[in-house]
Chain A
Amino acid sequence: MVTLNDYASTVPIAWCPGCGNFGILQAVKKALVALNLEPQRVLFVSGIGQAPKLPHYTRGNLFNGLHGRTLPAATGAKIANHDLTVIGIDGDGGAYGEGVGHLLAASRRNIDMTYLVHNNQVYGLTKGQASPTSDTGFITKTTPNGAGLPLNPLMLALASDISFLARGFAGDIEHLSGLIQAGIQHRGFALIDILQPCVSFNHTNTFAWYKERVYKVESEGYNHADKAAALIKAQEWGERIPIGIIYRQERPVFEEQLPQLKAMPLVKQPIDPMRIGALLDEF
């Protein structure tokens, strides 16, 4: 049996005390334990930011690459070895700013992985500039007159025909952990947008601000198979903010659509130099 101890790390955590990332880290660990996944079966892929430090604070395989480029690296790893449970981790800057094109491609292709986006609506690592999801009017050092229109990542994901879309809240670890479990179990690309209070640089969207507003869609008899309903739900923001599974559908994952990958992962396929040799002889 896998226990929380298996995911314990001795690396000192460099997040601010009270950071929403602590709740997300706990939810990730709990989800992996609940699924009885051993750390060596899990690959964390992350970019640059405060969120992408998460894999340093737990155990598992880790690929820490460039800012905004988590999904291409994760796609490569998953294609080569789809026995791995691949979890991508980014902040709103990497996922919805510099890497937003990759998000659409991974979602459209339906790469079988889970993508956790710690969305605190601000750049934390570079100390408090506006991010793509900063609310209109949000004042930072790069937007002293207030940020412009925020990007709606849920709408964007639905437009790319995503197969699993959820939103969680770092302040509700049990609920978030359930979403992460569902995301990992889902066959296909799962985006979980996680509302994350930033105690240092976002004094607007605070823990209390989110807590007053979030509600669970499942408690209101919401049907997450209904895409039209999901499009409406995805636009709710402000007084009430929905959390839970926003949309879910079954569609073929990337590796099922390629004959070369269908039978088994690339890493398990034998290399047959004779056949290449015969081909080369033709020239």
Chain B
Amino acid sequence: MTTRIGIEVSIAVADAVQLCNADVVAAYPITPQTHIVEHLAELVANGELDAEYIPVESEHSAMSACLGSAATGARTFTATSSQGLVLMDEVLFVASGMRLPIVMAVANRALSSPLSIWGDHSDVMSVRDTGWIQIFVENGQQAVDNTICAFRIAEDNRVLLPTMIHLDGFNLTHVIEPIIMPEESEVAKFLPPNKFPLPLNPDKPVAMGSFAAPGIFIEAKWAQEQNMKASKKVIMEVWNEFYKAFGRQYLPVEKYKSDGAKVLILTMGSFSETASVAVDELIDEGKDVGQVRLRLWRPFPFDEFRQAVKDADVLVVLDRAVSVGGPAGPVASEVKSALYNLAKKPKVVSFIAGLGGRDITVKGFKDIITKGIEIARTGSKNEYEIYGVRE
């Protein structure tokens, strides 16, 4: 079935969760995520999704309920945004430490204060180190496809790590896009049943979350880290299987007209598409530019990333979050670390823009790339540039 239908991206994500036949959804409303879980509540109530829907009293409780649910071996989903995500923070660490394959859609939104319901990536960056697999999507189709892939990745017994799908709040969640919804039978073929190896079961008692004395704690973290690293192979395997089944390909690092380009811009999320248009226009104007998009944020795809940028002279990095007083935007900092020990590497220029719902237009991206080239040539007294501030 390759018919595209016009559908709100939030609704499509909920429909994707239905196609995956999730068993438990626990969530709390927060703008701009609410439509996803409202639609899931509706699907459950209509009997279209055979699942338990738990309307909890806070996001902390939502993720806690997900822990319990996933621990019994149930296929578990939730969605949140911004303050909700940071309220979950301590529970997120438990989910990954206990190796519970929860899938969560995050409608990326700025953090207070000042209060903003609009999009940026400050919520993502605040949960960077929680031990979750994190995947960015750029449009509605990618959100649907990667929600389906996320269950297969998370639940793979070689992985068993919770997985976040990051989709930009409003720019994606609230827009109607033409999306191909996979058939239920196709998804059933692609996504095997969840076989959690050690579920809570009265017949076979297990203990979860036991205390770890100094003699064992670091080993537990080492095991988690090994698994996160190894998960990249499975993620790529799943994406490859998805490509074979559905014809749409996903890669840890995706390139756009970047081969041989001397100047590259690195982006994540829905603004990537605007940046691509800017790259096209700059090429038409005779500039030697290309684009690299980071799809897989955790585990960080070091090899693919280094390979994608190795021949460039300048790498302009767009961050939609600020690490106040830090060395660069959070993504640029990681990119610099990834490149530091290489003999040949591009100069990295860090730009922060698009905070709290501020748009970056095609002209804005062209401006950022042009300024980035200039800064790479002349240097700057700033560690990073904040673009578009009205002074």
Contact = CB atoms under 8 A, between A and B. Distances in A.
Interface of A: 48, 64-68, 97-98, 100, 123, 125-127, 129-130, 132, 141-145
Interface in B14-66: 27, 29-31, 34, 37-38, 41-42, 44-46, 53, 55, 57-58
Given A67-B83, A98-B58, A141 B30 contact: no
A130 B53 CA distance: 13
Contact of B41 (A126, A127, A132, A142): A142
B123 to A, nearest CB: 14
Contacts, number: 44
A48 B115 contact: yes
B216 to A, nearest CB: 33
Interface in B273-299: none
Given A97-B57, A144-B45, A126 B34 contact: yes
B43 to A, nearest CB: 9
A129 B58 contact: no
Task: Identify whether the interface residues of A are mostly helix, strand, loop, or mixed.
Answer: loop
B38 A66 contact: no
Given A130-B55, A142-B38, A144-B41, 11 more contacts: A48-B115, A64-B115, A66-B83, A68-B58, A97-B58, A98-B58, A132-B57, A141-B41, A142-B29, A142-B41, A143-B41
A127 B35 CA distance: 10
A129 B55 contact: yes
A65 B38 CA distance: 26
Interface string B63-88: 00000000000000000000100000
Contacts of B31: 125-126
Contacts of A97: 57-58
Interface of B: 27, 29-31, 34, 37-38, 41-42, 44-46, 53, 55, 57-58, 83, 112-113, 115
Contacts of B30: 126
B246 to A, nearest CB: 30
Contact of A142 (B55, B112, B113): B55
Nearest to A141: B38
Contacts of A143: 41, 55
A129 B28 CA distance: 9
A129 B115 contact: no
B56 to A, nearest CB: 9
Q: Which of A48, A65, A67, A97 has the most CB of B within 10 A?
A: A67
Given A100-B57, A129-B29, A142 B37 contact: yes
Contacts of B45: 144-145
A48 B31 CA distance: 12
A9 to B, nearest CB: 18
A256 B183 CA distance: 68
B257 to A, nearest CB: 41
A65 B30 CA distance: 16
B29 A123 contact: yes
A98 B56 CA distance: 9
Nearest to B34: A126
Contacts of A144: 41-42, 44-46
B111 to A, nearest CB: 10
A232 to B, nearest CB: 27
A102 to B, nearest CB: 12
Nearest to A147: B55
- Return the 8 tightest CB-CB contacts between A and B, nearest first: A144-B45, A141-B38, A126-B29, A98-B58, A97-B57, A142-B55, A142-B41, A129-B29
Nearest to A96: B57
A200 B315 CA distance: 50
8 contacts: A97-B57, A97-B58, A98-B58, A125-B31, A126-B34, A127-B34, A141-B38, A142-B55
Contacts of B83: 48, 66-67
Nearest to A68: B58
A67 B31 CA distance: 13
Contacts of A67: 83
Contacts of B112: 66
Contacts of A66: 83, 112
A97 B62 CA distance: 13
Contact of A129 (B34, B44, B46): B34
A155 B150 CA distance: 44
A144 B30 CA distance: 18
Contacts of B57: 97-98, 100, 132
Nearest to B84: A67
B238 to A, nearest CB: 31
Contacts of B58: 68, 97-98
Contacts of B37: 142
Contacts of A64: 115
Contacts of B34: 126-127, 129
Q: Which of B42, B55, B83, B113 has the most CB of A within 10 A?
A: B55
Nearest to B33: A126
A175 to B, nearest CB: 31
Nearest to B32: A126
A144 B115 CA distance: 30
A141 B57 CA distance: 15
A97 B58 CA distance: 7
